[in-house]
Structure 1
Amino acid sequence: MGDPLLAGLMFPTLFLLILLGLPVAFSLIVTAFGFALLAFGDIAPAQLYRFVDKVASQPTFAAIPLFVFMGAMLERSGIAARLFEAMRLWLGRLPGGLSLAALSMCAIFAAGTGIVGAVEVMVGMMAIPAMKKYNYSNDLIAGTICAGGSLGTMIPPSIVVVVYATQGQLSIGDLFAAVIIPSILMVACFLGYALARCALRPQDGPPVADEDFAMPMRDKIWITLTSLLPALALVLAVVGSIIAGIAAPTEAAGVGALGTIILTLFYRRLSIEVLWSATRATLVITAMVMLIVVGGTMFTSIFQINGGRQLIQSTILAMDLSSGELILIVLLIIMILGFVLDWISIVLICVPIYDPLLRAAGIDPVWFAVLAIIALQTSYLTPPMAPSLFYLRSIAPPDMSYRQMAFGVMPFVACQVLVMLIVYFFPATALWLTSFVGI
């Protein structure tokens, strides 16, 4: 048994390295290696290799590069511009129509890519110029793009869900099914807020001029069918096959990756340059994710060997918390860590530590996983350290201030908290669909 004092020093050391500017992945690896040397001495490298080998032997991680490639190809297929045009044509006349179009497109592309941040940048580059053209308020633009981008955290086939299920020893199909209804509720809340705000304050999101819709209905329907249906069919085939138990996550991801190549060919955008660009993006994103996965696994393994789990368990037991209080504390910790760490690190560090505590308290792990994923999504959006704002600043117009961005996302944060409360008080919203998995 290790030294609980060493376990207690690991988190302060990790945060210090991050604050000093060392990337999160290397902070995790350096901290784990340093404390492994203190705990094991000369055999530390052999122990760490064993932990890394455990990660490498998990076949579900093979789904990650395939899902990433699927999203990268969808981005380059030309479907994004067509889809935004279709959404604009149908929703533009409504109050805040361009905001509704951007949010709808984010929801669809979140289902297609599963990559946090990619959706925000891609949709923002198309939607922001259009919204500025019609004098939308900067805070509504910021809130719309950031909130829409955050949907990549939840909507299947989210990489967050895949990694969480792997670390929490849950079925990926169960967790995909569990997040579907909360995801729909989240999108509905976002759309409802944008519509209500612009109906009450038309100057914040005026309808698009009628002359911009001078297009025959036949052309409208054709644009919609050729942009919306192929993407939705692909996503439903991938996620549906996993939930129905027809295919394993890796197999379904492979089908999705092949499907995006066929879709790109259908839109006449397939070329060596497009394939190379998508492959390069896949390599970069997958390498980043897996480096953090390896570092996180090393960190949590050394933490547990040094008695960290027992230290936390004894502390929690001494507090004599109810199930509700335990859930609240864990969710608050997740949200606070979200101000410092990225979602992968939080999942890899926290899930192996708190999952046994929650199971021992009789808390359904799938239901809590949905709450935790919503908390991760909320931390992605919540100022002052919201990653969503940093993504937005890379594409924001010069006249959009940080203050406008921060105020713009807050109503959408309230929507996320509302959905979290709905899932908490009505667990069936997360668990009902799981009863159909594999049927």
Structure 2
Amino acid sequence: MGVIMLALFVGLLLLGFPIAFTLMALGVGFGYYAMGDTVFQLFVQRTYSVMSSDVLISVPLFLFMGYLVERANILDRLFKSIQLAAGGLPGSLALATLATCALFATATGIVGAVVTLMGLLAFPAMLRAGYDTRLSAGVVCAGGCLGILIPPSVMLILYGATAGVSVVKLYAAAFFPGLMLATLYMAYVIIRVLLNPSLAPKLPPSERASSYFAVLWALATSFLPLALLISGVLGAIIGGYATPSEAAAVGAMGAFLLAVAYRQLTFEKLRESVYLTARASAMVCWLFVGSFVFSAVFAYLGGQSVVENFIIGLDLTPIQFLILTQIIIFVLGWPLEWTEIIVIFLPIFLPLLSHFNIDPLFFGILVALNIQTSFLSPPVAMAPFYLKGVAPKHVSINEIFAGVMPFLFIVIFSMALYYAFPAIGLWLPNYMYGGGAQ
């Protein structure tokens, strides 16, 4: 019955039924068959525990912070200031795009928002400057996905709540891998442009800064305020001065004050931010409720043990188990959003981590790296489709797909690098908090 339950869920998913309500319906339906009225008590208790979770309180606060920053037109100022600062470097517009995406992603963590906004702002600017269409598209799509990994990532909050891992340690563990991936992207752009300068012609003098003072002023009025806000939020969390929820509340207030300072806050923008925050938070909470009820009934019916016994029976080594799980997550990323992968399918693998002696902290960062590929890999890559929706008509989806492929291989290379040198992610949490990374 557990296997039938899982197969039925996959079938309904492919038919396009809402995921959260499908999970709840199957969980309650099969639960009533297996345990009678007890399933209703389980459903109510889980709903209450999700709504009162201290960890999940930070989700709407970080989302609200991101939506406020997005609607305050800070991105336009940020991109122009970094463009001026990088004016003399090869591929300066592409580098400015990646740097802006990395910083803006830490403020929003919303892939669709970052890719869409940069597709409206940076992508046309690169095309006007004569940049190669494929390179420009790859830079926007890859840079926009960095918010999945770079703290304060909402994905890491959900993984921490699902796996029972400290969100503070996850943020510390994700810091250097996120920096590594952004640096690899920039290094690739610089090398490509040095080998073939026609891919990214130098900007004319009229579009460069007239003086160092102009660069410093642009950075001080756009880059510095947002950087201070983000570093303050992350520093308070990683330094142990505040919980993620407390830091998220301060971040939301800081974003509100920034929007006021830039004279961009209107009642309409505030209303939109509140509405989008409530909608996204409700989706996350009901996914948690549905996935827990589904997982509990699935395990009660013996489905979890079937999966565990099957995988253990394959007699895999830890590296083979990691490769298998990452391939499954990679494939799941085509039809599913990362939220569904984290709260529905990861709980199937998490109990097996102790059998293979794999640190859940290490596994979480590896998954966060992998989910980047889900947004970039054809044929159902969301980031290219976000960009296609706002790109000029002459830019085809095939050109965008071709542009993201080198960045997809960079992500896979970074995953291999992280596996070979786990200290890239685990050194900072071990150094900050001592003992094991768990």
| Residue 225 in structure 1 maps to residue 204 in structure 2 | no
Q: State the match for 2:208 in structure 1.
A: 213
Structure 2 vs 1, CA of residues 158 and 224 (structure 1 numbering), >3 Å: closer, same or farther? same
Alpha-carbon distance between aligned partners in 2 of 1:10 and 1:143, rounded to the nearest angstrom: 39
Deviation readout 1:98-127 (Å, 9 max, x if unpaired): 111111100000111122322111222111
Q: State the match for 1:378 in structure 2.
A: 373
Q: Secondary structure at the match of 2:55?
A: helix
Question: Contact 1:52–1:298 (CA<8 Å) still a contact in 2?
Answer: no
The one-letter code of the counterpart of 2:210 is M
Alpha-carbon distance between aligned partners in 2 of 1:13 and 1:202, rounded to the nearest angstrom: 53
Question: Contact 1:117–1:152 (CA<8 Å) still a contact in 2?
Answer: no
Deviation readout 1:226-264 (Å, 9 max, x if unpaired): 111111111111111111111111111001111111112
| Residue 188 in structure 1 maps to residue 180 in structure 2 | no
Q: What displacement does 1:353 show?
A: 2.0
| Residue 344 in structure 1 maps to residue 333 in structure 2 | no
Q: What displacement does 1:335 show?
A: 1.0
- Which consecutive unaligned segments of at least 5 residues does structure 1 have? 1-5
Deviation readout 1:376-397 (Å, 9 max, x if unpaired): 1211211111121222222121
Moved more, 32-41 or 183-192: 32-41
| Residue 329 in structure 1 maps to residue 324 in structure 2 | yes
2:241 pairs with 237, 246, 249, which one?
246
List aligned pairs for 1:232-271, cutoff 5 A. 232-271=227-266
Q: State the match for 2:57 in structure 1.
A: 62
Q: What displacement does 1:23 show?
A: 2.8
Q: State the match for 1:197 in structure 2.
A: 192
2:33 pairs with 38, 42, 56, which one?
38
Q: State the match for 2:115 in structure 1.
A: 120
Alpha-carbon distance between aligned partners in 2 of 1:168 and 1:42, rounded to the nearest angstrom: 28
Q: What displacement does 1:282 show?
A: 1.3
Deviation readout 1:167-194 (Å, 9 max, x if unpaired): 1101101000001111111001111111
Alpha-carbon distance between aligned partners in 2 of 1:149 and 1:160, rounded to the nearest angstrom: 15
1:363 pairs with 358, 361, 377, which one?
358
List aligned pairs for 1:144-183, cutoff 5 A. 144-183=139-178
Q: Secondary structure at the match of 1:359?
A: coil
The one-letter code of the counterpart of 1:48 is F
1:16 pairs with 8, 11, 33, which one?
11
Count of residue correspondences:
434
Q: What displacement does 1:438 show?
A: 5.1
Alpha-carbon distance between aligned partners in 1 of 2:371 and 2:85, rounded to the nearest angstrom: 32
Question: Contact 1:7–1:308 (CA<8 Å) still a contact in 2?
Answer: yes
The one-letter code of the counterpart of 1:221 is L
Alpha-carbon distance between aligned partners in 2 of 1:388 and 1:333, rounded to the nearest angstrom: 20
Question: Contact 2:385–2:397 (CA<8 Å) still a contact in 1?
Answer: no
Q: What displacement does 1:55 show?
A: 2.0
Question: Contact 1:123–1:145 (CA<8 Å) still a contact in 2?
Answer: yes
- Which consecutive unaligned segments of at least 5 residues does structure 2 have? none
Structure 2 vs 1, CA of residues 349 and 90 (structure 1 numbering), >3 Å: closer, same or farther? same
Deviation readout 1:193-213 (Å, 9 max, x if unpaired): 112112222222222112222
1:129 pairs with 121, 124, 130, which one?
124
Q: What displacement does 1:69 show?
A: 0.6
Deviation readout 1:14-70 (Å, 9 max, x if unpaired): 222122122333333333333223323455433322332332232111100000011
Q: Secondary structure at the match of 1:117?
A: helix
Moved more, 93-102 or 318-327: 93-102
The one-letter code of the counterpart of 2:57 is A
Sequence identity of aligned pairs in percent? 37
Alpha-carbon distance between aligned partners in 1 of 2:209 and 2:147, rounded to the nearest angstrom: 33
Question: Contact 2:158–2:342 (CA<8 Å) still a contact in 1?
Answer: yes
Question: Contact 1:293–1:344 (CA<8 Å) still a contact in 2?
Answer: no
List aligned pairs for 1:282-301, cutoff 5 A. 282-301=277-296
The one-letter code of the counterpart of 1:63 is S
Alpha-carbon distance between aligned partners in 1 of 2:268 and 2:239, rounded to the nearest angstrom: 36
The one-letter code of the counterpart of 2:393 is P
Moved more, 69-78 or 147-156: 69-78
Alpha-carbon distance between aligned partners in 2 of 1:291 and 1:112, rounded to the nearest angstrom: 24
The one-letter code of the counterpart of 1:217 is Y
Q: State the match for 1:310 in structure 2.
A: 305
| Residue 394 in structure 1 maps to residue 389 in structure 2 | yes
Question: Contact 1:335–1:376 (CA<8 Å) still a contact in 2?
Answer: yes
The one-letter code of the counterpart of 2:285 is M
Question: Contact 1:245–1:437 (CA<8 Å) still a contact in 2?
Answer: no
Q: Secondary structure at the match of 2:80?
A: helix
Structure 2 vs 1, CA of residues 34 and 201 (structure 1 numbering), >3 Å: closer, same or farther? farther
Question: Contact 2:82–2:223 (CA<8 Å) still a contact in 1?
Answer: no
Deviation readout 1:126-162 (Å, 9 max, x if unpaired): 1112112112222112211110111010000000011
Give me the TM-score of the superposition, normalised by structure 2.
Answer: 0.95
Alpha-carbon distance between aligned partners in 1 of 2:364 and 2:200, rounded to the nearest angstrom: 36
Question: Contact 2:50–2:285 (CA<8 Å) still a contact in 1?
Answer: no
Give me the TM-score of the superposition, normalised by structure 1.
Answer: 0.94
Q: What displacement does 1:298 show?
A: 2.5
Question: Contact 1:93–1:209 (CA<8 Å) still a contact in 2?
Answer: no
Question: Contact 1:152–1:158 (CA<8 Å) still a contact in 2?
Answer: yes
Question: Contact 2:87–2:209 (CA<8 Å) still a contact in 1?
Answer: no
Say what the alpha-carbon RMSD is for the aligned residues.
1.7
Alpha-carbon distance between aligned partners in 1 of 2:391 and 2:192, rounded to the nearest angstrom: 22
Deviation readout 1:348-394 (Å, 9 max, x if unpaired): 12332211211232211111111111111211211111121222222
Alpha-carbon distance between aligned partners in 2 of 1:214 and 1:259, rounded to the nearest angstrom: 29
Question: Contact 1:244–1:438 (CA<8 Å) still a contact in 2?
Answer: no
Structure 2 vs 1, CA of residues 215 and 277 (structure 1 numbering), >3 Å: closer, same or farther? farther
